[in-house]
Structures are given as structure tokens and as C-alpha cells.
Amino acid sequence: MKVNIRTPEQLEKMRVAGRLAAEVLEMIGEYVVPGVSTEQLDTLCHNHIVDVQKAIPACLGYRGFPKSVCTSVNQVICHGIPSPKKILKSGDIINIDVTVIKDGWYGDTSKMFLVGKVAGHAERLVNVAQECLYKGIELVGPGTRLGDIGHVIQQHAEANYYSVVRDYCGHGIGDVFHEDPQVLHYGKPGTGLELREGMTFTIEPMVNAGRSETKLKSDDWTVETRDGRLSAQWEHTMAVTANGVEIFTRRSDERF
């Protein structure tokens, strides 16, 4: 496993790309309402990235993915394809996953949105999934091992009687979209890669209300829960610093 260590100049480029990706999620929030199609959301994100940010939507054409962002509604875990036929309704939960390329460097982030009035159990899943991300991030720093991060995420999900998806994981990121290391959202403390200053990666836990098993739909992209129950995911891109972590994709609605 070859894990890159980024120079200060490279980190500055990731800072810029990360800020742009976060800005797309800040921009799209007001449009995530009952009656909008996921294709309309995709178009708004695409145009903002291309026309306003003068950046590139990394998902568009990535391994044949047909749209600029992923929109994953309710039982869809990840990689949902925006469609004019998918109209959001009150009570839905949706993950929008945005990756931009700016000056050759990547920023990758996602968040959950509540559509209209959402059931308490669904909102709770969304909140616990976000807490899982934050608990993972809190541990990031030199000397931490990836198993420590996976463990704290798994613990928090399972303490709430949820499960963690094992078939998909976080990843190294930089001037390519996905690279080593794999960042698992489950694991054992004291195992796995030891983090060092200058490493850059995502943490992006997918938390299921029911069982952890996944099912790939016939479009070869959409990943759903096998049991049909809800799933929630949050993602940030970050770097290991001398004394902790820098989140490149932090939004203004976040406190850290």
C-alpha cells in the first residue's frame, strides 16, 4: 500500500477544492424540497460547479457514471443516479455527494437533507450517521491507526442498534479521486495503517437502520440496502496535521 504524503503546496490546492465542494452543498440546500427531481438538483450542482466555480464535476463520466453528483434517497446507500423520474416527497431523506476537481485536485463531500416533514426515526438515523463521522474525525491525528477510527464509528452505530456498511469505504484522495488507503468504517483499535502528517483521505460512513448488506441495482451504480430499510451517509475530505486534522470540506453549518 502506497500512501501519499502531501506537500504544503498540494494541501493548499486541496483546501481550495474542498471549499468548492462544500460550497455546492451549501448552495443546494434551499432547493431540496418536495416536488423537485433529483435530476433538477444535479443540474443545479453541475451548473454551479462549471459556470460559477470554473471547476469540474468529478463524478460526470467517472467510470461511466452519467451525472455530476450522486443522489441517494431513503433505502439507497450510495451512488444513486439523478433522474427526472425521481421526485422528492415530504418524508424522504437524501444524501447528495459532490466531488469537484479544481486545478487538478479533488474535494469530496456529502451530507444528508431532510425533505419536508421527516419521521423521527429517520431523522435519528441521519443524526447518528453524522455523529459517526464526527467521532471518526475527532480521532484523526499523527499516530492514530485506521482501525481506531473504524472502531469508534462501528461502536457508535451499533450502540444505536444500527449497522455499518462494509462493502464501501472511505479512501485516500488528492490528485486522483480514489487511492490508498482504504478507510473502513468498522474495525479494531490498534490495527491498520498509522496516520502521519500530510496524509489526505475521506471518512464517509454509511449507516443502515437495519442490516448492513447491500444490493447493486441493474443500472450497475445504485447501491441499496438489501432489507429495504433506510440508510444515511455523511462525508468529509481531510488532512492529517502535526497536531490533529484539517477538514477541507467544512460547511458554515458546522462548528469545528
Cβ neighbours, 10 Å, residue 54: 10
- Binding segment toward Co ion, per CB under 5 A, in 36-44, 49-57, 116-124, 228-236: 228-236
Is residue 143 classed exposed, middle or buried when 0-12, 13-18 and 19+ CB atoms within 10 A define those classes?
exposed
106 Ramachandran zone, left/alpha/beta (phi>0; psi -120 to 50): beta
If binding is defined by CB under 6 A, does position 62 make contact with ligand MF3? yes
175 annotated as belonging to a binding site for a ligand: no
List C-alpha distances in Å: 3 to 41, 175, 179, 194, 247: 35, 13, 8, 11, 19
Quick check: 70 binds ligand MF3 (CB under 6 A)? Answer: yes
Q: Which stretch binds ligand MF3 (CB under 6 A): 55-63, 85-93, 134-142, 147-155?
A: 55-63
Which of 145, 204, 236, 238 is in the footprint of ligand MF3 by CB under 6 A?
Answer: 204
Q: Tell whether 178 is in a known binding site.
A: yes
| Contact status: 97 vs Co ion (CB under 5 A) | yes
Instruction: Report what 59 binds from Co ion, ligand MF3, none; CB cut-off 5-8 Å by kind.
Output: ligand MF3
Strands, DSSP E only, in the chain? 56-57, 70-73, 76-78, 93-102, 105-114, 163-164, 170-172, 179-183, 200-203, 206-208, 214-216, 223-225, 231-233, 236-240, 245-247
User: Of 50, 71, 104, 64, which is closest to residue 222 (Cα–Cα)?
Assistant: 71
How many residues at the interface with ligand MF3, by CB under 6 A?
A: 11
Question: Would you count residue 108 as binding ligand MF3 (CB under 6 A)?
Answer: yes
Given a contact cutoff of 8 angstroms between Cβ atoms, the answer to whether 181 and 132 are in contact is no
Q: Residues 99 to 158: which contact Co ion by CB under 5 A?
A: 108
We find the least distance from the C-beta atom of residue 243 to ligand MF3, in angstroms, to be 27
Q: Does 235 bind ligand MF3 (CB under 6 A)?
A: yes
Say if residue 79 carries a ligand binding annotation. yes
23 forms part of the interface with ligand MF3 (CB under 6 A):
no
Cell numbers describing residue 232: 444515511
Residue 65 touches which of Co ion, ligand MF3, none (Cβ within 5-8 Å per kind)? ligand MF3
What residue ranges bind ligand MF3 (CB under 6 A)?
59, 62-63, 65, 70, 79, 97, 99, 108, 204, 235
Binding residues for substrate: 79, 178
